[in-house]
Chain A
Amino acid sequence: MTLTKQALEALNVGDVVAEREFSFTRDSLVRYAGASGDFNTIHYRDDIAVSVGLDGVLAHGMLTMGAAVQPVIDWLGDPALVDDYQVRFTRPVFVPADGEAVVSVAAKVGQVDAEAGTARIDLLVTAAETTVLGKAQVRVHAV
């Protein structure tokens, strides 16, 4: 099912349309590095991360951004209904060598333009009880 104009009109600001939790491990980071071509060593080498003043290896911001929009796409039914997607990377997501970082996403309706058939979905993205993305907004259209 893809988001219809009727379904969009029925949305209210504040409605939670999707939620999901992700487990990021070092494996996820290596996989994302290969898939995206981002081989910045701070995403897999502890020694280098520490040498440039970080607390440890962190997830690619783009991995967090790329994953965080997925629950919205499942709700939309089609990735092509996303017209614009922006985030600010406010806090790093540290991923331990021998464990996981749990990233939680809640997607809420921020704005609806029924006439245009568009909406803004705001993402609340947290890890270790801290918000890691700011102004995370997905602009979508209905069909």
Chain B
Amino acid sequence: MYAKTPSYLVGREKIREFSRAVFSTSPLNFDVEAARAAGYADVVAPPTFAIVLQQFTLQQLLDDDDAGIELSHVVHGQQQFTSARPIVAGDELTAVQTIASVKSLGGNSMITSQSVIEDAAGAHVATTTSTLVVRGDA
């Protein structure tokens, strides 16, 4: 298990920027009034936004000399997001990563890691599960 990531404040403009990048057209991702009318405190993040938190845990893995992973050799194998509640602007989130499995397959390594995301109150927000394929020397 790796150390808890530093607290990440989810910004309204970050949600809008991410939403534009994934071609969202949902008003709840962009419009504060629409989000509040739907019962949310602020704009709501798309379902894959938790990848921003997972990115910090991936960095821990890349910085780990014992793992010996070079980013350009990494391709994404599988990804899952399980949501306990929606992420909204203003949330302060942390992630704790656990390596679930490491397998070798034909010169490549498959690393499955899980990141549990919590809010400032320590309540569960989401869990991301990611399988990375680290390609052997081509």
Q: Which A residues contact B (CB, under 8 angstroms)?
A: 2, 22, 28, 31-32, 34-38, 40-42, 48, 51-53, 60-63, 65-67, 69-70, 73-74, 78-80, 82-89, 92, 138
Given B56, B72, B77, B85, which contacts A48 in the complex, CB threshold below 8 Å? B72
Identity of the chain A residue whose Cβ is nearest the Cβ of B136 in the assembled complex: A53
- B residues near A85, Cβ cutoff 8 Å: 47-48, 80-81
The answer to whether residues A73 and B24 also contact, given A66-B46, A79-B47, A84-B81 and a CB cut-off of 8 A, is: yes
Given A70, A79, A89, which contacts B79 in the complex, CB threshold below 8 Å? A89
A79 touches B28 (CB 8 A): yes
- B residues near A41, Cβ cutoff 8 Å: 71-72
Identity of the chain A residue whose Cβ is nearest the Cβ of B25 in the assembled complex: A74
Given A22, A34, A52, A69, which contacts B46 in the complex, CB threshold below 8 Å? A69
A83 touches B82 (CB 8 A): yes
- B residues near A36, Cβ cutoff 8 Å: 18, 21, 51-52, 55
B7-29 to A contact mask, C-beta < 8 Å, 1/0? 00000001001101111111011
Interface size class, chain B:
35 or more
A40 touches B79 (CB 8 A): no
- A residues near B77, Cβ cutoff 8 Å: 88-89
Apart from A34-B17, A36-B18, A51-B72, list 12 A-B contacts with CB within 8 A. Answer: A28-B21, A38-B55, A41-B72, A52-B138, A62-B48, A79-B47, A80-B44, A84-B81, A84-B83, A85-B80, A87-B79, A89-B75
- B residues near A37, Cβ cutoff 8 Å: 52, 55-56
Name 12 interchain pairs, CB-CB below 8 A, sorted by A. Answer: A37-B52, A41-B72, A52-B135, A67-B22, A69-B47, A70-B22, A73-B26, A80-B85, A85-B81, A87-B79, A88-B77, A89-B75
The answer to whether residues A79 and B82 also contact, given A36-B51, A73-B26, A89-B75 and a CB cut-off of 8 A, is: no
- A residues near B129, Cβ cutoff 8 Å: 86
- B residues near A138, Cβ cutoff 8 Å: 47
B21 touches A70 (CB 8 A): no
B17 touches A79 (CB 8 A): no
B124 lies within 8 A of chain A by Cβ? no
